[in-house]
Chain A
Amino acid sequence: MRSHEPVREAERLLAQCYDDMRRVARRILAGESLSASIQPTDLAHDAAIRLILSNDDIALEDRGHLLALAARTMRRILIDEARKAGAAKRRTPTLMTSWPGSPATSHVDIGDLDEALEALRAFSEPHAIIVEMRFSLGFTVEETARQTGIAERTVKRRWQAARAWLHDYMVTGDNVPLE
């Protein structure tokens, strides 16, 4: 199979975006309390249409960028959905997930994660994109490198730094403790 076919790039962009969004939808919804009311396919559809209808940012630099945006859009929908459905704080969905490569699963509150990622994006968009690719979309280092055109080595380092940053943020919040 030819791995890069410019002629069908846009078609594949749409199709792959769709497949990846269903993948991330399944990831997000796995073991999640909302999974009874939202099907992964519907979540993916809603995200796709939001994405397509958003006026800004549709002329994306590369596929990595597009996919990261898709993942973010999906998370937003889920949070909106949870707010609509539950209202009460105790029903805010908890994202059950594992960091890539980790045998252990840990619970991350999806709202907290979104907040941390937004904070990271505000400081460094390139780091946030790597997190979306690796974490939300579940891409390997190699795949991430291919999608973004960034060297594997850089992806690895960036991912490690970003992960440490998120971990730190989720522990300490927006404020940095004075030493």
Chain B
Amino acid sequence: MSRSSEVERRALELVELMLDSPDDEAAQAALLSSESDAVRARVSALQAAMRDSASRLPTMFPDEAADAADAHPPEQIGAFRLVRRIGVGGMGGVWLAERNDGLYEQKVAVKFIRPGLVRLAGAAFRAERRILARLEHPGIARLIDGGVTAEQTPYLIMEYVDGLPIDEALHGRPLAEQVKLFLKAADAVQFAHGRLVVHADLKPSNIFVDSQGRVKLLDFGIARLLDGEAAEGADAQPMTQAYASPARLAGAPPTIADDVYALGLILKALASGQGDADLDAIAAMASDADEKRRYGSVAALIADLDRWRDQLPVSAREASLAYRARLFVRRHFTGVALTTAALLLLSVASAIAVQNAVRAERNRARAEQRFDEVRQLAKFMLYDLYDELARQPGTVARRAEIARTSADYLARLDLSAEASPALRLDAARSYRRLAAIQGLSGTSNLGRPQDALQSLARAEALLARGDERGPLRADFLAELGWVHLDRWLLQPDSAASARENREARRLLQAARTLAPRSDAVLLGLLVADKNDAYDRIWTMDDAPRAATMARAALARVTAHAWPDALADIAAKLRIELLSVLGEADYQTDDLTAALAAYQEADRLIDAQIARHGPMPNLVILKGQNAFDLSGTLGDMAGRQQEALDIARGGVAALRQVLEQGPDAAAEKKLLILYGQQALLLSDLGRPDQALVPSRASVALRERRLAAAPDDPQRMRDLAIGLGAHVDRLGEAGLAAEACDAARRAATLWVRIKALGRLGALDARKNVPRSSERVATHCGA
């Protein structure tokens, strides 16, 4: 006879029930009396199996027999002897009791309902028991037992918390520790919300901290379930006026927003007089009288407090995240499958989150969880997954996809009710990452500078909104500063770049006033110094001043101890500063000093490669530096062959990166190295050989311009490449081709000038040389 699902389900249910009273045959018989024969047969078979498996495979937990409490006198409840009354709850007395059955020592709190209230609030009391049964959390006082005394008084036996109310317990502790303990309480509240329970009467005397710093929520006496099982009579329960939200005072049933409000008031008391503007802002937002302007969830409040805490030098978490991401991505986990899987997971989770975010209050707790999951997943992808993929060549397009998807999700979440300033900051950072991968020079990118500008505009718009009350916070100001630093990269060699850098500096300095010890802000300011030095050379044609500036910034970035999270950015800045310094020295004809700077940069790049492996971004830096080294050596007597070898080495490394997939930054370095190779071969008296890299250089520049036809930067690249090519063609005796190329270059310079993007150095040197070339090669 085949198993019937109805019979099996029922039999399992009954066996489970009978485990409650294993030795009470009468009770078991009563349970079975109205069951069918089939069910009874299955129950006895399962009980036999249980005895069998129990003897052969003994169970690990002893039966809990001794907790029947009915027969004891009032001074004794179950295994507990009442010691003294420790408080009066909303519904009745609370007693300290001690276990006296000799098994072990245990202190508990026994909570009774006042006899007169049984009829009125008995249901609420029972609801509390049900509610507590679903709240197993270290931050919530545990329900141990419950029942009814001989006098028919219901009681609950709870974990006893030997501590102080949170406001007293926090008094005199350092602020960071106070916030840490507050977060524990908030976590417990959020846990309850996740279980669809609203506490509804949060106040310091319901949040205890014991001597070991453990935090426990007490008294879910008027808690309410959000999924329909509302406690009858709960709305009539007394609540604590001082911590009740305006909505509650007006008689509305309790919601998540009321718990947020109460936590906000507790935080406000904690923050008051500490002089921390950020913390004050968080407390104010949590306790806003207008529910719509309050945090949408405790999770959102926690997220902001976490961010607040992260401003302290904590980097261990980042390191372990990255480590876990590496584990996650390793081996056959890499590549397309992982990216696809992550995107898929994100899109599924996000669809649910966005849907739920607009649903009714009773689904809000779930919606918040999803919301946070999506946000975390987006961050996981954007930082850990992205960083891991960045270690491998050929992943530019995939990384762009990840960055775009994550940024879009975060931006969508920002429109929902749960949005917070921290989320907005995340979304803005995503767009910055997206911009970098789309087209910021110096890092692996897709070569779409116009898209990058758009992404930066989005980041800027998000940041400018701030938290929509009061002035911008330090982290917003700093991030806006970095947006302008990014934008500087998209328009070097023109007046616009100086403007971007000025704006970046202004914002970063404002951030520094608010957060004087922030490493990220200091690093941003030093990047601005580097940009200034660079512009001194290329826009203002003032190499001597540039060298002084670069040296000063270099000294500062080298002397500072950077936290792990910023160490790689700082290392890159050092390399870039050495590069600017080398260029400045080169421009002032101090070739020895230039060579020394480039060689130092090369050592730093090699150290980074030794640490991280040949990541594309590092190979690109190495390629740029190979050009600088080769160019300097090429101008030194008798070192052309050495220069050629370095150029060839750079070309080989970059081509290896490009073989794995397109990368505009690698291309850019490659094309200048082609030009360099051609120049060196020409100097070595091999004009025919020189034509090979020279043609490759021009072809690559043409392709790049075709991909972004309005980009003045690429016009300039091509104009310069063509200029050099004209010389190589002339040397090889190809006069007609040389004239064509010279004319094309001249036309490009005219277009650049018409766009208002002609730099001073180009105007002084390259444009006149272009005209000379036309005259020489197209002469009548």
| Cβ–Cβ contact A4 & B59, under 8 A | no
| Cβ–Cβ contact B1 & A175, under 8 A | yes
| Cβ–Cβ contact B137 & A4, under 8 A | yes
Partner of A123, one of B8, B50, B56, B190: B8
A167 interface residue (CB < 8 Å to B)? yes
Q: Please, could you name 6 A-B residue pairs with CB atoms under 8 Å apart, sorted by A?
A: A6-B190, A6-B372, A7-B302, A11-B321, A151-B134, A177-B1
| Cβ–Cβ contact B3 & A9, under 8 A | no
The interface of chain A, by Cβ under 8 A from chain B, is 2-11, 13-15, 18, 42, 45, 48-49, 52-53, 55, 58-59, 98-102, 104, 106, 119, 122-124, 127, 141, 145-146, 149, 151-153, 156-158, 160-165, 167-168, 171-172, 174-179
| Cβ–Cβ contact A18 & B59, under 8 A | no
Q: How far is the CA of A125 from the CA of B190 in the complex (A)?
A: 27
Q: How far is the CA of A167 from the CA of B348 in the complex (A)?
A: 38
Q: How far is the CA of A165 from the CA of B14 in the complex (A)?
A: 12
Q: Which residues of A contact B168 (CB under 8 A)?
A: none
Q: Closest CB of chain A to B417's CB: distance in Å?
A: 16
Q: Closest CB of chain B to A105's CB: distance in Å?
A: 10
Q: Which of B348-362 contact A (CB under 8 A)?
A: 348-349, 352
B377 interface residue (CB < 8 Å to A)? yes
Known contacts A4-B190, A53-B344; 17 additional CB pairs below 8 A are: A5-B302, A6-B190, A7-B299, A18-B327, A45-B333, A53-B337, A58-B345, A59-B348, A99-B57, A100-B60, A124-B9, A149-B195, A157-B16, A167-B52, A175-B2, A176-B1, A179-B41
Partner of A124, one of B8, B188, B191, B195: B8
B608 interface residue (CB < 8 Å to A)? no
Contact of A160 with B50 at beta-carbon distance under 8 Å, contacts A4-B137, A58-B345 already known: yes
B768 interface residue (CB < 8 Å to A)? no
Q: Which residues of B contact A152 (CB under 8 A)?
A: 136
Per-position 1/0 for B353-382, Cβ under 8 A of A: 000000000000000111011111101100
| Cβ–Cβ contact A58 & B348, under 8 A | yes
Contact of A101 with B60 at beta-carbon distance under 8 Å, contacts A123-B3, A161-B15 already known: yes
Q: Which residues of B contact A15 (CB under 8 A)?
A: 324, 328
B20 interface residue (CB < 8 Å to A)? yes
B611 interface residue (CB < 8 Å to A)? no
Tally of chain B residues near chain A (CB < 8 A): 75
B708 interface residue (CB < 8 Å to A)? no
| Cβ–Cβ contact A10 & B302, under 8 A | no
| Cβ–Cβ contact B53 & A163, under 8 A | yes
Task: Say what secondary structure dominates the interface of chain B.
Answer: helix
CB closest residue in chain A, given B191:
A4
| Cβ–Cβ contact B53 & A167, under 8 A | yes
| Cβ–Cβ contact B49 & A164, under 8 A | yes
Q: How far is the CA of A83 from the CA of B312 in the complex (A)?
A: 54
Q: Which residues of B contact A162 (CB under 8 A)?
A: 12
B551 interface residue (CB < 8 Å to A)? no
| Cβ–Cβ contact A11 & B2, under 8 A | no
| Cβ–Cβ contact B137 & A123, under 8 A | no
Partner of B187, one of A4, A104, A119, A165: A4
| Cβ–Cβ contact A123 & B5, under 8 A | yes
Q: How far is the CA of A8 from the CA of B64 in the complex (A)?
A: 37
B47 interface residue (CB < 8 Å to A)? yes
Q: Which of B1-48 contact A (CB under 8 A)?
A: 1-3, 5, 8-9, 12, 15-16, 19-20, 41-42, 45-48
Q: Which residues of B contact A164 (CB under 8 A)?
A: 15, 46-47, 49-50, 53
Q: How far is the CA of A153 from the CA of B376 in the complex (A)?
A: 33
Per-position 1/0 for B178-196, Cβ under 8 A of A: 0000011001101100110
Contact of A58 with B349 at beta-carbon distance under 8 Å, contacts A99-B57, A165-B46 already known: yes
| Cβ–Cβ contact B2 & A176, under 8 A | yes
Q: Closest CB of chain A to B157's CB: distance in Å?
A: 14
Q: How far is the CA of A64 from the CA of B12 in the complex (A)?
A: 21
| Cβ–Cβ contact B349 & A59, under 8 A | yes
Q: How far is the CA of A175 from the CA of B42 in the complex (A)?
A: 12
Q: How far is the CA of A37 from the CA of B310 in the complex (A)?
A: 45
Q: Which residues of B contact A124 (CB under 8 A)?
A: 8-9, 12
Q: Which residues of A contact B253 (CB under 8 A)?
A: none
Q: Which residues of A contact B515 (CB under 8 A)?
A: none
CB closest residue in chain B, given A56:
B348
| Cβ–Cβ contact A7 & B376, under 8 A | yes
B342 interface residue (CB < 8 Å to A)? yes
Q: Which residues of A contact B195 (CB under 8 A)?
A: 149
B275 interface residue (CB < 8 Å to A)? no
Q: How far is the CA of A162 from the CA of B49 in the complex (A)?
A: 10
Q: How far is the CA of A109 from the CA of B493 in the complex (A)?
A: 72
| Cβ–Cβ contact A6 & B302, under 8 A | yes
Q: Which residues of A contact B53 (CB under 8 A)?
A: 99, 163-164, 167
Q: Which residues of A contact B345 (CB under 8 A)?
A: 52, 58
Q: Which residues of A contact B19 (CB under 8 A)?
A: 156-157, 160-161
Q: Closest CB of chain A to B376's CB: distance in Å?
A: 4
| Cβ–Cβ contact A146 & B136, under 8 A | yes
Q: Which residues of A contact B373 (CB under 8 A)?
A: 9-10, 13
Contact of A9 with B2 at beta-carbon distance under 8 Å, contacts A2-B184, A149-B134 already known: no
Q: Which residues of A contact B368 (CB under 8 A)?
A: 6
Contact of A11 with B380 at beta-carbon distance under 8 Å, contacts A102-B58, A157-B16 already known: yes
Q: Which residues of B contact A104 (CB under 8 A)?
A: 56-57
Q: Closest CB of chain A to B425's CB: distance in Å?
A: 14
| Cβ–Cβ contact A161 & B134, under 8 A | no
| Cβ–Cβ contact A156 & B61, under 8 A | yes
| Cβ–Cβ contact A168 & B45, under 8 A | yes
| Cβ–Cβ contact B376 & A11, under 8 A | yes
Q: Closest CB of chain A to B615's CB: distance in Å?
A: 23
CB closest residue in chain B, given A162:
B12
B341 interface residue (CB < 8 Å to A)? yes
| Cβ–Cβ contact B376 & A9, under 8 A | yes
| Cβ–Cβ contact B136 & A149, under 8 A | yes
Q: Which residues of A contact B5 (CB under 8 A)?
A: 122-123
Q: Closest CB of chain B to A21's CB: distance in Å?
A: 11
B306 interface residue (CB < 8 Å to A)? yes
CB closest residue in chain A, given B20:
A157
| Cβ–Cβ contact B187 & A5, under 8 A | yes
Q: Which residues of A contact B369 (CB under 8 A)?
A: 6, 9
Q: How far is the CA of A160 from the CA of B19 in the complex (A)?
A: 9
Q: How far is the CA of A26 from the CA of B100 in the complex (A)?
A: 44
Q: How far is the CA of A14 from the CA of B195 in the complex (A)?
A: 21
Contact of A59 with B342 at beta-carbon distance under 8 Å, contacts A10-B372, A11-B376, A11-B380 already known: no
Q: Which of B186-227 contact A (CB under 8 A)?
A: 187-188, 190-191, 194-195
CB closest residue in chain B, given A46:
B332
B173 interface residue (CB < 8 Å to A)? no
B764 interface residue (CB < 8 Å to A)? no
Q: How far is the CA of A98 from the CA of B340 in the complex (A)?
A: 38
Q: Closest CB of chain A to B543's CB: distance in Å?
A: 48
| Cβ–Cβ contact A168 & B133, under 8 A | no
Q: Closest CB of chain B to A53's CB: distance in Å?
A: 5
Q: Which residues of B contact A149 (CB under 8 A)?
A: 134, 136, 195
Partner of A151, one of B133, B137, B299, B321: B133
B331 interface residue (CB < 8 Å to A)? yes
Q: Which residues of B contact A10 (CB under 8 A)?
A: 349, 372-377, 380
| Cβ–Cβ contact B1 & A178, under 8 A | yes
B138 interface residue (CB < 8 Å to A)? yes
Q: Closest CB of chain A to B662's CB: distance in Å?
A: 27
Q: Closest CB of chain A to B222's CB: distance in Å?
A: 22
Q: Which of B97-152 contact A (CB under 8 A)?
A: 133-134, 136-139
B514 interface residue (CB < 8 Å to A)? no
Q: Which residues of B contact A174 (CB under 8 A)?
A: 2-3
Contact of A158 with B16 at beta-carbon distance under 8 Å, contacts A6-B187, A145-B136, A151-B136 already known: yes
Q: How far is the CA of A83 from the CA of B45 in the complex (A)?
A: 34
Report the 4 A-B pairs with minimum CB-CB distance, sorted nearest first.
Answer: A101-B60, A10-B376, A164-B50, A10-B373
Q: Which residues of A contact B9 (CB under 8 A)?
A: 123-124
Partner of B341, one of A53, A101, A156, A158: A53
B303 interface residue (CB < 8 Å to A)? yes
Q: How far is the CA of A176 from the CA of B44 in the complex (A)?
A: 12
